[in-house]
Chains A and B, each alone.
Chain A
Amino acid sequence: MKDCLFFDANCKLGAGAAGEACLPDVSALLSEMDYYGVDRALIRHTNIIKGALTSNEKIAEFLCDDPQKRLCGTWCILPSQCDEIPAPELFFSQMKAARVGAITLSPFEHRYVPCRLTLGKILDAAAERKVPVLLDAFAGRWTELYAFMKEFPYLTCIYLESIGKWGSDRNLRPLLENYEGFHIDTAGYWVPEGIRDLAEKYGAERILYGSGSPRYNHGNGMLQLRHNGLNDNDFALIAGKNLERLLKGAEL
């Protein structure tokens, strides 16, 4: 098995404010990853919705507890006009220094409209530099997501669902068809052999293994992926190589 890299694209770490399920620290997460054989994970903070800047700091601290560098961080952005985050150039260099490889946003909790007026500066720079943008905040919010993608059609982005369990093909497929940089993760996408169907239609490069931890365990989706009927190359891409490629491709 270990000839295949598993790199989790959908993983939250740290305690939440509302008593939600959580993995509190790096050692708890690494222990879970070891139990199931997951090599690496892109982490974002459970409590992003309760504070972008504080959760960014926490993610940086978590990464200091991971000397083997199995984890890569995600930071949350905010509208540029309030000067809460620095200009893109500086923000990205800070990300690089902290081993943070992707960004996310939480516009509905942080109370702003996710559009060009608010996020144009940072997201245009992200698109140009191919910095992956996690779209976890849009899970199940299709109208808002469609509007967002129209505003930022050239983003390298990863839609993370893992809230519902009913396959969302009627909404996912138009986005995969129309936006080249739109990717999805597998957490909660439980459609029988559906991962293979999407890979055949849109390319395995567009799909990333995600656990949806801590709500979901890492293992169920691994077995699903293993036996989805993918060829070895596509399996390896989805299991980990795609995320590795996206993170390496970011010009921070």
Chain B
Amino acid sequence: MRTSIWEKPGSIAEAYWKQGHADFPVYDMHGHMGSHYAIYFKRCEPADVVAHIKRAGVKRLVFAHHDALWGGLRNEKVWEMCCQFPEHLRMYVAINPHFPETIKEDLAKFDQWAPFAVGLKFLADYHRVAVTDKAYEYALKFANERGIPILNHTWGGSGFDGGPIMLEVTQKYPRAKFFIGHCLYGDWDYASRVVNETPGNVWLELTAIPGERGIIEMLVEMVGSERILYGTDMPWFDEFQGIGGVLSAKITEDDMRNILYRNAESILGKNW
């Protein structure tokens, strides 16, 4: 047998295998919090989630609380959770298009929630409202004026946040920073187009992809590792599985560093 990736002296993979972390911080740009109707979670509250991400060398997890997305929990409560773990937790303000007054009230508090609120989260597939719908306009204009990120759940073929819709909205709001959650899973052609046909305001976010053989390699080839962010859907997926998926991809260590931390730092800075 050849020397495996985990045994290459001085490599990131070797560091992770031996120590569970490397010489850089990891930023997980796609997380959640709290229980979810469709799954049993043993670890989904802030203390347990933070304990898990710390083990894997993750410096920051940016999340939207499940219940805030469903409309049962106000974003202010999520901000309070972040305040308890200021070194590790940051939040996306959950935007539910069925609650327009809540959107306005919460975005009015966005600045008060600094530095914990770093952007917005859209979950159009679950809310059953297309991102191009007027119901999102207020939030989109807000993000566009401020140049802040919007993490969008996206999925190939979706009539709510699929490729053509995301291409339209990313072109229409060129100052908002769009994180394409799940990389438009399965529609790799549009994943490439939303990056390559927009003015530098779009990044692909990897949740659910690390571990799939050859996909990260293909995305790096199509859009460049500078346009890809790391995420796990925490508490859905294990951090070591996700990081392991990036380290197992046949890409350069420079690409891995871009994905795991450099790109997040170039968007949000080193101290956010």
Q: How far is the CA of A224 from the CA of B4 in the complex (A)?
A: 16
Q: How far is the CA of A201 from the CA of B56 in the complex (A)?
A: 24
Q: How far is the CB of A234 from chain B (nearest CB, A)?
A: 16
Partner of B213, one of A39, A194, A216: A216
Partner of A224, one of B2, B42, B244: B244
Most-contacted residue by chain A among B7, B40, B41, B247 (CB, 10 A): B40
Interface residues on A, range: 35 or more
A191 at the interface (CB under 8 A from B): yes
Partner of B4, one of A35, A165, A193, A197: A35
B84 at the interface (CB under 8 A from A): no
Q: How far is the CA of A213 from the CA of B16 in the complex (A)?
A: 22
Q: How far is the CA of A131 from the CA of B83 in the complex (A)?
A: 55
Q: How far is the CA of A146 from the CA of B249 in the complex (A)?
A: 36
Q: How far is the CA of A252 from the CA of B108 in the complex (A)?
A: 71
B42-A194 in contact (CB<8A): yes
Q: How far is the CB of A5 from chain B (nearest CB, A)?
A: 12
Partner of A226, one of B17, B41, B42, B208: B17
Among the stretches B109-117, B118-126, B232-240, the one at the interface with A is B232-240
Q: How far is the CA of A190 from the CA of B1 in the complex (A)?
A: 28
B86 at the interface (CB under 8 A from A): no
A1-B240 in contact (CB<8A): no
Q: How far is the CA of A34 from the CA of B38 in the complex (A)?
A: 37
Q: How far is the CA of A219 from the CA of B251 in the complex (A)?
A: 13
Q: Within 8 Å CB of A165, what residues of B? A: 208, 236-237
B213-A223 in contact (CB<8A): no
Q: Within 8 Å CB of B16, what residues of A? A: 223
With A21-B214, A224-B244, A226-B17 as known contacts, state yes or no: A166 contacts B52, CB within 8 Å.
Answer: no
Contact with B along A208-252 (1 / 0, CB 8 A): 000001111111111110111100000000000000000000000
Q: List 13 A-B contacts (CB under 8 A).
A: A33-B1, A36-B5, A36-B6, A37-B5, A37-B7, A39-B1, A166-B39, A169-B40, A216-B212, A219-B6, A223-B247, A224-B238, A228-B238
Q: Considering the complex of A and B, which 5 residue pairs feature the smallest CB-CB distances, nearest first?
A: A37-B4, A219-B248, A223-B244, A220-B211, A224-B241
